[in-house]
Amino acid sequence: MLIDEQPLASMAIGERQWLRIIEALPGSLRARVRNHDVAYRNFIEGVLWIAATDSPWHELPDRYGSWRATYVRFVRWNIAGVWGTVTEALGSNTRPAQGLAIRAGLSARARRSRASRRVGTHGPTSREWRPHAAREMRW
């Protein structure tokens, strides 16, 4: 099922916003973005579309490029902390910036949620796990 593409118009980055985003980026990334302006602008607009619609990555419209490549770059930029500067450049009170902050885990709510998932054990510990237990079970 395809999502209604109505929010696409609001995901277009204005020229002023785009210049603010470029200026906010770290030095080496800023140079790369300036050299490949259209591709990076398309990438950021695609990420904003995902953030605004809260869609899974595989539903990213083709006009934004490959969803996998967009997702991989999104994760790399997230690890590098780039999305914080992008949300500030967009204006942290705008809808796209808020959606991006949630998707990138920049909001306090997302950090609390991740922290609560870390509490406790994730799977069996070495004392509980017995490889022969499956052989002992009779289905």
Domain boundaries of the chain, sorted by first residue: 8-108
pLDDT of residue 116: 56
pLDDT at position 3: 40
Q: Is 127's pLDDT higher than 70?
A: no
Average pLDDT for residues 70-83, to the nearest whole number? 92
- Cα–Cα distance between 22 and 30 in angstroms, integer? 6
**CA angle centred on 110, ends 18 and 42, rounded to 5°:** 25
Cβ neighbours around 30 below 10 Å, total = 14
Cα→Cα distances 126→76, 100, 123, Å:
33, 39, 10
Task: State pLDDT tens for residues 81-121.
Answer: 899 889 888 887 877 788 888 888 864 454 455 555 555 54
What is the distance between the alpha carbons of residues 24 and 56, in angstroms, rounded to a whole number?
A: 27
27, burial (CB in 10 Å: exposed 0-12, middle 13-18, buried 19+): exposed
